[in-house]
């Protein structure tokens, strides 16, 4: 049970890094999918950078909390 926060944090960190660094064309695949709400929007690339950076920060904090929770519980 103590591993769940650690795994959630690492998952969020991995997703955020995939969005920010465009790992294996992740960003282009999302833009080409039917999920894209603003095809051809001017601020889409900047939106991916901002959201990815926020998810990386959140993932780092949750991972740090997960490590502390794992060792202190």
> Distance between terminal CA atoms of the chain?
10
> What is the domain count for the chain?
1
Is 53 in a helix, a strand, or coil? Answer: helix
Over 10-21, what HEC string results?
A: HHHHHHHHHHHH
pLDDT over 70 (residue 68): yes
Q: H or E segment at 8? A: helix 4-21
Residue-range definition of the domain harbouring residue 11: 4-35+42-72
- The dihedral built from the CA positions of residue 61, 62, 64 and 65, taken in this order, carries a sign that is positive
- pLDDT tens-place string over residues 9-58: 899 999 888 888 888 888 778 777 777 666 666 677 788 888 888 999 99
Q: How many CB atoms lie within 10 A of CB 31?
A: 17
């Amino acid at each position: 049970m103590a591993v769940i926060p650690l795994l959630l944090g690492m998952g969020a960190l991995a997703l955020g890094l995939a969005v920010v660094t465009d790992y294996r064309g992740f960003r282009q695949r999302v833009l080409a999918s039917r999920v894209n709400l603003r095809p051809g929007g001017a601020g889409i690339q900047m939106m991916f950078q901002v959201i990815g950076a926020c998810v990386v920060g959140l993932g780092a904090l949750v991972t740090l909390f997960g490590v502390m929770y794992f060792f202190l519980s």
